[in-house]
Every structure is written in C-alpha cells, then in structure tokens.
C-alpha cells in the first residue's frame, strides 16, 4: 500500500471549502454546463472536462513509483459488458509494474453488499477504488468515508451523486443523457416520426438507465407523433438477455404493437429480438450500444424484414481506463487532464452505407468490438 495515500483525503477535505464547477451528478445531463477547462482536484486533476476517446493518455504518465493496490468494485458483474470491462481494467493495470495487487468485487446488484465491498477494500488498504455505482446515491456516504480515509475513489458510468473533486476524485462517463437523446432521435426518425416507443434499461432504480431515459424523453417530447409506452421510467431488464426476453415478451402481450426500441445495453437487446421472433411479430426499429450478436442478428433478419433497422453507439467499456488513470494520478500526486465526460456518436447505422453494422462471426456473440480489447483478447476472454 502506498504509505502517503492519506494525503489525497486531506486535499479533498480542504477542497470541500471551495465551489467547484462540476455538477453534483457528474455528466448525467446534457443540460449541465460543460467546463472546457475543468476544475482541479488533488495533483492538478481536472474535473468536469469534456472530450473524446482519443484524449485518453498512456498509463505510464500516472503509474508512479511506489507499490500500489487497485480495485474494481462492481455493483453488478453478471453480464458480458461487465466481464469485458473487468478484463480491460486488469489489462490496463498490468501495464504499471508497481501495481502489486488488482482486486475485484461483485455486489451482484445488492446495494448493501456494494457498501460492504467498498468498506472491505478500504480495510484491506487499497489505494485506488474504481467503481460502477449501481446503487446510486445510497453509496455516497460510503464513498465519502473511503475518500476521508485517503483512498482515491473514481466512480464511472453509474453516478453516486455528490460532488466530483470533493467527495471522490472524479466521475467518468459518457454524456449519458445525450447518448439517450441521440439514439432516440435516430430511432424516431427511422420510425417515420410516429408510433409506439419503448426504452429498455437495466437493474431497477439504477442512475445510469434513468439518465438515458431522461435523454429519450427529451427526444420524445419534441415528437408529438411518438407514444412512449413506459412513461414511468426505464423498463428493468437487469441487463441480461434472458430477463430481457421475458420482459419484452410481456411488453408485446401488453401493448401489441411496438414500433421502436431504445436500449442501454445491446448485449441484452438480443434477448428482446428473440421475443419478437417467438411472438411472430415484426421486429421494430432498434437502437442500443454495440454488441457483436446485436449486429449479426440484423444481418440474419434484414432480408425478411426490410423495415427492421438498427443503430449503435460505442459500448464505451474503455471509460474504465480513464477512471483508473485518474485514481492513480490522485494517489501519486500527479497531474491528469483527461476528460471526465466523453462524447459519443453513432458508429453503426444500417440505413447508412458508410456505417453498416459489423458482425464478426469468428468472435463470440458477446464480444464488443468498440470495447478497447483486441480481437485476440476478446477471443481469449470468451473461451
């Protein structure tokens, strides 16, 4: 364990006396002001900046020299996205020779276990905790205590609320609401501006799916011909293909006609596609983040169902790399000006000849081609 790790907690305690420009829930909303120059936390770490994947730097700038223990505290590890993200985190940590331990916890969707996992990691003397917060603001007091104990905590994708740069090092994610809005706008346009739309989320109550839903709502509100069938929030699928198939089958029974779907997990969407096929219903226009099987299924059904179209944005597993970098920089007192928020764009669009979906039949169905892992790494991971 790095012997000077308590320095970071002391710096953040001082920083709490000052107002920072970052919004309290990270970049969950595109309405939040984008701080192009950012504000600074311990070790000149910029907080609240916006950029793109190409702005992520080589980890060698942040490794430091002293022995360090890092951990990935996952709120839920039960799908391929989480498996790939863990592998990417471990592969990135392996590039620093002074990272002597890489730990992993899986709360299995249980908020109380997520709290216990973080407390346990702190007790073990971990220097850096990168965490996907599925439990939302219920985790904030635990994260604050970890920060006070000198641990560099960096939530990514799932926000705990609070104030980045004060309660923890930074919050790293894509611009989530814009992600939802962009996919919804594409879906609505491809639907012809009218019909029934559904938004599929993950674990019930998670902050990420709610933020995507908010982005979808902003697009729906601008299109009076669209009826959002789930008006009370994202449909919970647990981000699992089997559960998604069951849930979508229920939606088909309840509503009959569904013309478009926006999902926040392409890997889970394949279960929903199977539900439409089993019901003998035409496949709707569908947008999500990228997944090998999601693309391959489009090629399987496109000729028989020419109105079935898909679009994806990056599944952005690679944001965990930026989160690890920020945690290391904070622990080592080194500067880090990598973005906190990453702008995404549509990378696959079956209506655009220049962005046709990519299906790699030699790779596993669960592979995510935009993840940041190489083809060889994905093949090895899913053996």
Mean pLDDT of 354-362: 95
Residue 15 pLDDT greater than 50, yes or no = no
At 22 the pLDDT is: 34
Question: pTM value?
Answer: 0.80
Mean pLDDT of 337-343: 96
Distance of alpha carbon 375 from alpha carbon 360, whole angstroms: 10
Q: What percent of the chain has pLDDT over 70?
A: 89
Contact 251, 271 (CB under 8 A): no
Distance of alpha carbon 214 from alpha carbon 53, whole angstroms: 24
At 366 the pLDDT is: 86
- Chain Cα centroid distance, residue 356: 23
| Tens digits of residue pLDDT in 115-173 | 999 999 999 999 999 999 999 999 999 999 999 999 999 999 999 999 999 999 999 99
Residue 17 pLDDT greater than 90, yes or no = no
Mean pLDDT of 327-355: 97
pLDDT band, very low/low/confident/very high, at 37 (cuts 50, 70, 90): very low
| Tens digits of residue pLDDT in 177-202 | 899 999 999 999 999 999 999 999 99
What does pLDDT average to over the chain? 90
Determine phi and psi for 299, rounding to 5 degrees: -65, -30
Residue 13 pLDDT greater than 90, yes or no = no
Residue 18 pLDDT greater than 50, yes or no = no
Q: Where are the alpha helices (DSSP H) in 124-240?
A: 140-148, 176-190, 207-221
H or E element: which one contains 69? Answer: strand 68-74
| Tens digits of residue pLDDT in 289-311 | 999 999 999 999 999 999 999 99
Distance of alpha carbon 322 from alpha carbon 318, whole angstroms: 7
Q: Give the chain's domains with CATH numbers.
A: 50-175+317-344 (3.40.50.2300), 176-313 (3.40.50.2300)
Q: Which residues pair with 228 in a beta bridge?
A: 197
At 51 the pLDDT is: 94
At 34 the pLDDT is: 37
At 383 the pLDDT is: 84
**Of 123, 92, 118, whose CA–CA distance to 105 is shortest?**
118
**Of 185, 142, 178, 148, whose CA–CA distance to 166 is shortest?**
148
Residues ≥6 apart with Cβ < 8 Å to 4: 66, 333
pLDDT band, very low/low/confident/very high, at 43 (cuts 50, 70, 90): low
pLDDT band, very low/low/confident/very high, at 90 (cuts 50, 70, 90): very high
Residue 107 pLDDT greater than 80, yes or no = yes
């Amino acid at each position: 364990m790095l012997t000077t790790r308590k320095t970071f907690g002391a710096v953040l305690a001082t920083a709490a006396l000052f107002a920072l420009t970052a919004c309290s829930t990270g970049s969950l909303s595109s309405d939040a002001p984008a701080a192009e120059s950012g504000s600074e936390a311990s070790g000149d770490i910029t907080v609240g900046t916006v950029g793109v994947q190409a702005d992520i730097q080589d980890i060698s700038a942040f490794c430091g020299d002293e022995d360090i223990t890092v951990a990935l505290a996952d709120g839920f590890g039960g799908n391929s996205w989480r498996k790939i993200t863990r592998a990417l985190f471990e592969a990135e940590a392996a590039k620093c020779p002074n990272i002597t331990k890489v730990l992993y916890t899986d709360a299995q969707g249980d908020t109380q276990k997520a709290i216990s996992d973080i407390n346990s990691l702190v007790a073990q003397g971990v220097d850096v905790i990168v965490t996907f917060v599925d439990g939302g603001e219920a985790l904030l007091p635990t994260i604050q205590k970890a920060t006070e104990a000198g641990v560099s905590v960096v939530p990514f994708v799932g926000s705990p609320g609070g104030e980045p740069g004060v309660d923890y090092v930074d919050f790293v994610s894509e611009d989530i609401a814009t992600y939802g809005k962009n996919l919804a706008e594409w879906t609505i346009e491809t639907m012809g501006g009218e019909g029934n739309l559904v938004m599929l989320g993950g674990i019930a109550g998670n902050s990420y799916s709610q933020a995507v839903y908010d982005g979808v709502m902003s697009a729906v509100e601008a299109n009076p011909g669209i009826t959002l069938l789930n008006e009370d929030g994202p449909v919970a699928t647990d981000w699992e293909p089997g559960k998604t198939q069951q849930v979508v089958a229920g939606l088909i029974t309840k509503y009959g006609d569904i013309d478009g779907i926006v999902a926040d997990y392409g890997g889970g969407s394949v279960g929903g596609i199977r539900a439409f096929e089993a019901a003998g219903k035409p496949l709707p226009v569908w947008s999500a983040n990228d997944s090998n099987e999601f693309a391959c299924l489009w090629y399987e059904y496109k000729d028989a169902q020419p109105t079935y179209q898909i679009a994806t944005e990056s599944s952005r597993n690679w944001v965990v790399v930026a989160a690890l970098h920020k945690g290391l920089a904070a622990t080592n007192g080194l500067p880090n000006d990598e973005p906190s928020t990453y702008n995404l764009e549509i990378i696959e669009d079956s209506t655009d000849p220049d962005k046709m979906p990519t299906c790699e039949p030699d790779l596993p169905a669960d592979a995510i081609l935009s993840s940041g892992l190489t083809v060889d790494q994905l093949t090895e991971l899913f053996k």
